[in-house]
Amino acid sequence: MNIKILFLPILLPFLAGILCILGRKQRIFTEGISLIAAAVNLFIAFVLFGKNLNFNLPWLGFGIDVSFRLYHFSAFIILAAAGFGFLVTLYSLFFMRAKEHLGQFYAYLLISLAFINGAVLADNLVVLLFFWEGLLMSLFGMIAIGNKNAFKTATKAFVINGVTDLCMMIGIVLTAHLAGTLTISKINLPLGLGASLAFILLMIGAISKAGSMPFHSWIPDAATDAPLPFMALIPAALEKLLGIYFLARISLDMFQLTHESWLSVLLMTVGVITILLAVMMALVQKDYKRLLSYHAISQVGYMILGIGTAIPVGIIGGLFHMINHAMYKSCLFLTGGSVEKQAGTTNLEKLGGLGIKMPVTLICFVITAASISGVWPFNGFFSKELVYDAALERGLLFYLCAIAGSFFTAASFLKLGHAAFFGKASSENKQVKEAPLGMLVPMIVIAAGCIIFGVFNSLPLKHLIEPILGAKLNGHHFAGMPGNIKLIIISVIVLVAAIVNHIFGVLMKGSGLKALDYIRYAPILSGIYNKAEKRFFDPYEIGLKVVNLVSALSWKIDRGVDWVYEKFSVKTVYALSMQIRNLQNGNYSLYLGLSIVSAALVFLLFFAGL
C-alpha cells in the first residue's frame, strides 16, 4: 500500500473543513460535505486498522521530521474517533438544523477530526505539538460559536489549555534534551530527576487534554454555553481518547513508569481526587448537561487511576474504560441533546415525565446510565472492575475512593433519570414528541455498542486493548467475568446502597430531583458547595484574581516606572543636553582648548594602555 495514505485521514477532513468555511452558505452543501467527509474518514480508518506503517520525511532539521507511525494503538484511536465523528455528524444534521454558524461548526468539527488523526499518527514530538495546538484552535472556535457567554467560556478553555500546553512544550524540550531525539517511538527514558520533571510536564498536558482536575473548569461552562454535539464529540469522546492515548504513550513507551515510582502514586492520587471531587459536584447539579459534564470529568479519574497503577490489569482497565466512557458519555450527551431539542430546556426543575413521550431516548439513557454506574452486564461494569482490581492491589485507600465515586455516580444518575424521565410531567412538556430518526440512530448505535462491549467483552479486550500492551501481559487475559468475586459483591452492594439511598432521599424530600439535597445541605459540605458554586475553587478564577492583583500592583509599579521614563529620564536627558549645548558657546578658542585637553587625555590613555 502506498505510504502516502497516512496523509489522507489528516488532509481529507481538514480540506473538507476548509471547504465548509469557504463554501457557499447553503445548508445542504455544508452538511453534505461534512457527512461525506466523516463517512470517508470512517472508511479510511477501517482500511487503516490493523496495519503497521511508518513514514518519515526530514523537514526542519534539528531532528524535527514529519514522521507518522500507524500501529495498533493509533489505528484503534483513529477508528474510534472516526466512528464518533461520523455519528455525531449524523446527529448534528438534525440537531443543528436551525442554529447559526452552521458552516463554522462543521468546519471546526472536521478540522478537529483531522488534527486528532494527525496528533495520534504523529511520531515526532514537535509534529504532535503542532496538531495538539491546532486542536486548541478548533476547540476555541467551536465553543465560541455557542450562545452569548460562549466567547468568555472559550477564552477560559483557551487559557487553561494554553497554559497546560505551555507546560507540555517545556516538557517536550526537556524530553528531547534528555533523550537526544524527538521521535516518540525511539524515546525510552528511565525516570531520573530530569525525566520525572519532563514526565510531569507532559502528563499535565495529557491529563489537561483529557479534562482531569484541576484543569477541568472550562468543561461545565462549555456544557451550558457551547453547542451540544460539541460536548458529545470533543470533551466526551475525542479529547478523552487523545489525552488518555498520550498519557498511555508517555507512561508505557516514552518513560519507564513502574509501580514502584512515586509518579505512579501521583497519577493515582490525581485520578482519585478527580473522581471524588467531580462526582460530588455532579451530585448537586440541576442541569442535565452540566451534570453530565461533571461526570465526564469524574470518569477521567478512573482512567488516570487505571493507567497510574502501572500494572497490566490497571492499564487494560483504564484504556478499556476510555473507550467505554467515550461511548456511554457521548450517548448520554446525545440523549441530553434530544431532550433539549424536544423539550426546549435542560433545566431539571422544568423537566419531568419525558419517559413516556420519548421511549427510545429513555431506553438509550437507561442503558448508558447503567453502564456508567457499572451495572452488569454493560461495558462500564467490566472496565471499572478491572480498575478496582488494580487499585486494590496498589492500596486500599485508592480502592475505597474509587468505589465511593461509583456510589455517587449511581446516585446522581438515579436522580437524573428520575427527575428527567419519570415523575410528573410539567405543564410545558405536554406536547413533547420523540426525537427524529436521524438523532435516534446514533444513540441507538452507541447504546447497542455499550451492550455488545459489555456482554461480549472479550471482543474489544482481545482485539483492541490487549494488543496495545502486547508482551507485557505475559499471556494474561482479562476477558470474561472478573476473577475476584469479592469485588463484584462489594460493587453490587454499593449499587444497591445507591438505590436505597435514592429511595430514602425521595421519601424524605418528595421528589427525584431533590433526592440528594441532604448531601448538598449537609453541615460542612454545604459551605464547600456554596463556595464551589461561586467558582471559588476554579483555578482559572483564582488565576484571574491573582492576575488582577498582580496587574493592580504592576499598575502602581508601572506608574512609578513611567514617571522614571517620562519625567525623570526625559528631564535628565534634557538637562544634560542643555549642558552640552552650553558648552558649545560659539567660542572656538574654548573648543580648541577642550580639544587639546582631550587629546592629552587620549595620549594618557594610550600610554596607560601600553
Examine residue 62 and tell whether it contacts another protein (CB under 8 A): no
Nearer to another protein, 508 or 594 (CB): 594
End-to-end CA distance of the chain: 76
Examine residue 605 and tell whether it contacts another protein (CB under 8 A): yes
Nearer to another protein, 563 or 574 (CB): 574
Question: By C-alpha distance, which of 162, 154, 295, 271 is closest to 214?
Answer: 271
Examine residue 561 and tell whether it contacts another protein (CB under 8 A): no
Examine residue 563 and tell whether it contacts another protein (CB under 8 A): no
For residue 594, the minimal CB distance to another protein (Å) is 6
**Packing angle of the helix pair 239-249, 102-121 (nearest 10 deg):** 10
Piece in contact with another protein (CB under 8 A), picked from 252-260, 341-349, 533-541, 601-609: 601-609
Burial label, 18 (beta-carbon count in 10 A; 0-12, 13-18, 19+): middle
For residue 100, the minimal CB distance to another protein (Å) is 42
**Packing angle of the helix pair 72-95, 27-48 (nearest 10 deg):** 160
Examine residue 564 and tell whether it contacts another protein (CB under 8 A): no
Examine residue 598 and tell whether it contacts another protein (CB under 8 A): yes
How far is residue 226's CA from residue 284's CA, in Å, rounded to a whole number?
Answer: 21
Written as nine digits, the cell of 584 is 558649545
Piece in contact with another protein (CB under 8 A), picked from 49-57, 191-199, 242-250, 580-588: 580-588
Nearer to another protein, 437 or 576 (CB): 576
Piece in contact with another protein (CB under 8 A), picked from 63-71, 173-181, 395-403, 594-602: 594-602
Examine residue 592 and tell whether it contacts another protein (CB under 8 A): yes
Examine residue 595 and tell whether it contacts another protein (CB under 8 A): yes
Written as nine digits, the cell of 483 is 476473577
Examine residue 147 and tell whether it contacts another protein (CB under 8 A): no
Examine residue 521 and tell whether it contacts another protein (CB under 8 A): no
The sign of the CA dihedral 544, 546, 552, 558 is negative
**Which residues, listed in sequence order, are joined to residue 61 by a DSSP beta bridge?**
64
Examine residue 574 and tell whether it contacts another protein (CB under 8 A): yes
- Do the Cβ atoms of 388 and 491 come closer than 8 Å? yes
Question: By C-alpha distance, which of 511, 330, 364, 329 is closest to 434?
Answer: 364
Q: DSSP for 321-339, please give it.
A: HHHHHHHHHHHHHHHHHHH
Nearer to another protein, 396 or 597 (CB): 597
For residue 157, the minimal CB distance to another protein (Å) is 35
For residue 570, the minimal CB distance to another protein (Å) is 8
How far is residue 280's CA from residue 294's CA, in Å, rounded to a whole number?
Answer: 9
**Which residues, listed in sequence order, are joined to residue 124 by a DSSP beta bridge?**
183
Examine residue 530 and tell whether it contacts another protein (CB under 8 A): no
Question: By C-alpha distance, which of 233, 180, 236 is closest to 62?
Answer: 180
Return the residue of 2, 427, 431, 589 that touches another protein, per CB under 8 A. Answer: 589
For residue 10, the minimal CB distance to another protein (Å) is 33
For residue 59, the minimal CB distance to another protein (Å) is 21
Examine residue 523 and tell whether it contacts another protein (CB under 8 A): no
DSSP 481: S
Examine residue 580 and tell whether it contacts another protein (CB under 8 A): yes
Nearer to another protein, 431 or 585 (CB): 585
Burial label, 412 (beta-carbon count in 10 A; 0-12, 13-18, 19+): buried
For residue 110, the minimal CB distance to another protein (Å) is 38
Examine residue 588 and tell whether it contacts another protein (CB under 8 A): yes
Please enumerate in sequence order all residues whose Cβ is within 8 A of that of 375, keeping only pairs 6 or more positions apart, or say none. 381, 495
How far is residue 328's CA from residue 331's CA, in Å, rounded to a whole number?
Answer: 5
For residue 578, the minimal CB distance to another protein (Å) is 6
DSSP 191: -
Nearer to another protein, 481 or 564 (CB): 564
Examine residue 577 and tell whether it contacts another protein (CB under 8 A): yes
Examine residue 581 and tell whether it contacts another protein (CB under 8 A): yes
For residue 312, the minimal CB distance to another protein (Å) is 56
User: x-or-dash pattern for another protein, window 270-289, by CB under 8 A?
Assistant: --------------------
For residue 586, the minimal CB distance to another protein (Å) is 3
Nearer to another protein, 489 or 592 (CB): 592
Indicate the pairing of strand 53-61 with strand 64-70. Answer: antiparallel
Nearer to another protein, 26 or 569 (CB): 569
How far is residue 99's CA from residue 41's CA, in Å, rounded to a whole number?
Answer: 25
Piece in contact with another protein (CB under 8 A), picked from 259-267, 394-402, 535-543, 586-594: 586-594
Nearer to another protein, 60 or 98 (CB): 60
**Chain position carrying cell 427527575:** 419
- Do the Cβ atoms of 99 and 105 come closer than 8 Å? yes
Q: DSSP for 352-419, please give it.
A: --HHHH-HHHHHHHHHHHHHHHT-TTSHHHHHHHHHHHHHHHH-HHHHHHHHHHHHHHHHHHHHHHHH
Piece in contact with another protein (CB under 8 A), picked from 54-62, 413-421, 474-482, 595-603: 595-603
With CB under 8 A, what is the number of residues at the site for another protein? 32
Piece in contact with another protein (CB under 8 A), picked from 138-146, 289-297, 495-503, 591-599: 591-599
Examine residue 427 and tell whether it contacts another protein (CB under 8 A): no
How far is residue 533's CA from residue 540's CA, in Å, rounded to a whole number?
Answer: 14
**Chain position carrying cell 577642550:** 594
For residue 567, the minimal CB distance to another protein (Å) is 14
How far is residue 243's CA from residue 293's CA, in Å, rounded to a whole number?
Answer: 16
Examine residue 594 and tell whether it contacts another protein (CB under 8 A): yes
For residue 575, the minimal CB distance to another protein (Å) is 10
List interacting residues with another protein (CB under 8 A): 573-574, 576-578, 580-582, 584-589, 591-599, 601-603, 605-610
